Structure 1
Amino acid sequence: MPAPRSRSRRGNVEQSGPAVCRRARDGGRAEPAQQHRAHPLSRLRRDQRGAHRTFALTLMADIADTAASEATRCGIDTVEVRRIERLLAETASEDLNRIFSAQELSDSGEGPGRAASLAARFAAKEACAKLFPRELALGLIEPIDFSVARDGYGAPQVVCSARAQALIDQQRIRAIVVSLTHDRVSASAVALALAARSAAPIAGRILYYALPVRRAVILENLRRVFGAGVPEGEIKRLAQAHYAHLWRLFGEFLRFRWLSAAQQAAIVRTEVDALKHALGEGKGVLILTGHFGNFEVATIAGLARFPEMQGRIHFVRRAIKPRWLDALVTRRFRQAGFGVMSKRGSLDAILERLAAGDVIVFPFDQHASPPDGIEVEFFGHPAWTFKSLSIMALATGAPVLPAASWRESDGHHVLRFEEPLPPIHDENVNEEIRRNTRAYNAALERLILRHPEQWFWVHRRWKQVVRRRPAAKSTRYY
């Protein structure tokens, strides 16, 4: 009689690319930060020591080594299936939607394997959150900021919330890959963060050394934004990529005037649906923007494709040096049918244009000393920021739309207007202005991190302001 065939204890395995950390291959010793748990839902927690944890880590070690060399950090988590079964039995549907995405609930099905599938996805959420131990401890990120979806081949992919994506971009993480496994008893996941590596064109590398204009300022700004979590080599490559961007920007600016109208329109792709919808409200529109990409070329060429907007768009600008360059830029804007206003002394004219339903474009990424500015956070550091935009928005009710431009790898430019930012109201007027101004800075942060090499890093954005004390009045005694 043949011997009975042994059943494998290995459960279902889902892998997304080669994702495993060297700790798993060396015996499963996790970093202290990976053992830290700061999020609630304590009934889903379990001690990771024991047979299930060893089994999961051994299984994860089967993943290839290619991505491990690119990994900056690794997160591991294990969840007991019976805890998820109890969660499903005791939790209302609307509360489940706060833990799992609609896609996760759909992918897990309704059969007997539903709890195990959701357990694997919850372990993946925890593993992704452990990639950011400091932010997890401070409450800046939570496991629910991550979810798992399947790609076209059925492999699990990590989907991030807006704040998780901003954190990933700021820490220069190219992608998070995840591997899931579960059996009838437990589910485990490994999440691996792959480092981003900026491409530094030869022109940028040459200019970085040969013409180091404000190189110290650029490096200081990059270190301030990306912090100690990004290697110095990546900071240097970002700076070189920025020099290459400035080189291309200068060449595009000089060549632009010789292009025909058709050629100018062909180099820019526009996304203006949000702007058109906001114009329909009849309150005017305030555009929150900064020095992104080739902001002069993309704006002129992109908006010139919409003749119905001619004469209705006005740029609030600060004079630039040298004077001949400022005069050239101003002339090009006016020739394209745009109005140009100074940042000083133009409040009445701006309010008049908003009342007429026009568009005011406000570059918001420059230093603003008092009394024009207030000190609010920008990339985690105090920065003096214009308060006039929030004052105008609150006084007129005009929507504030973030907008940015950037250059694609093929040389084409994109000009995008995003959905309006919701206004923040507070009984204290000063606090209301401060909170809205901070929200505008947060919107700029998201835009900058999408294409960091194409922002204007040469500007001293975090310039310190020395506050002078008023002279003490002399007191006479008679």
Structure 2
Amino acid sequence: MTTQETVLPDGCAIDTVDIARIARLVAELPQDLDKLFSKQELDDAGYGVGRIASLAARFAAKEACLKLFPQEAALNIITAMDFSVRRDPYGAPHIVASQAADIVMGRYLVETIQISLTHSATAASAVALRVPKQIKSSAAGRFMFRWIPYRRKVILANLQRVYGGRVSEHQIRLLAQAHYGHLLTLLKELLSFRFMSASDKKNIVRVEGVDDLIRAFEAKKGILVLTGHFGNFEVSTVAGIEHFPQAKGHIHFLRRPIKPKWLSDFLTNRFNRAGFGVVGRRGSLEEIVDTLEKGDAIVFPFDQYARRPEGIPVEFFGYDAGTYKSMALIALSTGAPVMPASSWREPDGSHVLKFWPPIDVITAEEVGDEIRLNTRAYNRALEWLIMRHPEQWWWVHRRWKNSPEPSKLA
């Protein structure tokens, strides 16, 4: 459908579409328009004389966005439907990316895509520009990276898996330095948190998506909260629950004992005092199901390596990684929704705890396929959450333990 194309340097791409071809598509295959455009785009294009040109410009925008990520487009990781165009109240066009496109953009450290649309009587054109994500490393983070390289090889290897071939080695090192800065800040926050007043603790965290969580509680099917080691996960959860105290006693963390034992006991006691229950990772499946049948929530840290038989190899950022199959098994057997949740630190030092709408259940004829497909969906949700604030994820984990190198762009 594209009649002219030019790839520009420095993260730019342009696409030009013949308006007459879009006109023929609208006239001959109107039922296929939803395969190219979102409902919002079709509505925004209107039904007047400018509809065809508007749709042509939007299609050119989608194609220009795809040209920014040619390998992923060629592998069908992203398609034109992963990008849509919306106009703000002032009429300026903006790109809205799907979860899949967000993940791809994140792996190139792209914050957003700026778009410019034009059209003549016969053709519509779009220019797409990648806007890079700004990664800032602190002096303390750079010092720790250089002189106190705790698990530096693991961190760099993990970052290389996710970003290698997409960003420069300098950017990967900058991310590692930013992550060390995050670890130091996290430790400082944990130490100072216990000395804060109750009001200060509550005010340091903003909670978003509580309405989705409350609706899930009201359904009385129990809730599986899909999360990982994001931001300061200890502070944001302990302080965040003060914003919805009605949930105290009804949220239970699935936790694996950590070493040293005193630290594990310290964290467990802190969670208990805050109003959370704690279920051991090796606790019985019956205990977890009983908790869900009461209508309570189980918080499942899902970003750790899982060895067989508890884990199965499932794609995570393009590499097979040992992933717990129990969440999918429990969700499919109980009907409990799986809700993603994450936390992150804002530039001003405050924290955000956010709950996202439940992940759609994927059905298949074979139970094994259902478990694998839904587990992949959970990993994909984690990928998306990690890419939102990459320096604040727990890169020190050996998440891809025993995973071979892929034979193609991951």
> How far is 1:111 from its partner?
4.4
- Aligned counterpart for 2:382 among listed residues 444, 448, 458: 444
Confirm whether residue 282 of structure 1 aligns to residue 220 of structure 2. yes
TM-score, normalised to structure 2, is: 0.92
> How far is 1:110 from its partner?
4.3
Query: Equivalent residue for 2:342?
Result: 404
Q: Which moved more, 1:189-198 or 1:163-172?
A: 189-198
Contact kept in structure 2, 1:369 and 1:465, CA below 8 Å: no
Alignment of 1:340-379 (within 5 A): 340-379=278-317
Determine which structure has more spread, i.e. the larger CA radius of gyration: 1
1:106 to 1:288, Cα distance in 2 relative to 1, 3 A: closer
| Percent identity of paired positions between Structure 1 and Structure 2 | 56
Query: Equivalent residue for 1:303?
Result: 241
- Aligned counterpart for 1:123 among listed residues 33, 37, 60: 60
1:296 to 1:116, Cα distance in 2 relative to 1, 3 A: same
Partner Cα separation in structure 2 for residue 434 and residue 379 of structure 1: 15
Query: Equivalent residue for 2:138?
Result: 201
Alignment of 1:76-475 (within 5 A): 76-92=14-30, 94-271=31-208, 272-464=210-402
Partner Cα separation in structure 2 for residue 346 and residue 109 of structure 1: 56
Partner Cα separation in structure 1 for residue 110 and residue 39 of structure 2: 26
1:112 to 1:277, Cα distance in 2 relative to 1, 3 A: closer
Please state whether the residue corresponding to 2:32 is helix, strand or coil. helix
Letter in 2 for 1:170: R
Query: Equivalent residue for 1:65?
Result: none
> How far is 1:128 from its partner?
1.2
Unaligned residue ranges in structure 2 (runs of 5+): 405-410
TM-score, normalised to structure 1, is: 0.80
Cα RMSD, aligned residues only: 2.1
Contact kept in structure 1, 2:230 and 2:343, CA below 8 Å: yes
Letter in 2 for 1:396: T
Contact kept in structure 2, 1:354 and 1:360, CA below 8 Å: yes
Contact kept in structure 1, 2:320 and 2:403, CA below 8 Å: no
Alignment of 1:4-23 (within 5 A): none
Unaligned residue ranges in structure 1 (runs of 5+): 1-43, 61-67, 467-478
Partner Cα separation in structure 2 for residue 163 and residue 353 of structure 1: 33
Please state whether the residue corresponding to 1:119 is helix, strand or coil. helix
Partner Cα separation in structure 2 for residue 112 and residue 396 of structure 1: 52
Aligned residue-pair number: 403
Letter in 1 for 2:51: R
Query: Equivalent residue for 2:2?
Result: 45
1:117 to 1:419, Cα distance in 2 relative to 1, 3 A: closer
1:80 to 1:463, Cα distance in 2 relative to 1, 3 A: same
Partner Cα separation in structure 1 for residue 240 and residue 329 of structure 2: 29
Contact kept in structure 1, 2:61 and 2:85, CA below 8 Å: yes
Query: Equivalent residue for 1:19?
Result: none
Contact kept in structure 1, 2:2 and 2:15, CA below 8 Å: no
1:311 to 1:236, Cα distance in 2 relative to 1, 3 A: same
Residue deviations 1:192-237, cap 9 Å, x none? 2233231112221111112110011111101101231111111111
Alignment of 1:50-65 (within 5 A): none
> How far is 1:313 from its partner?
1.4
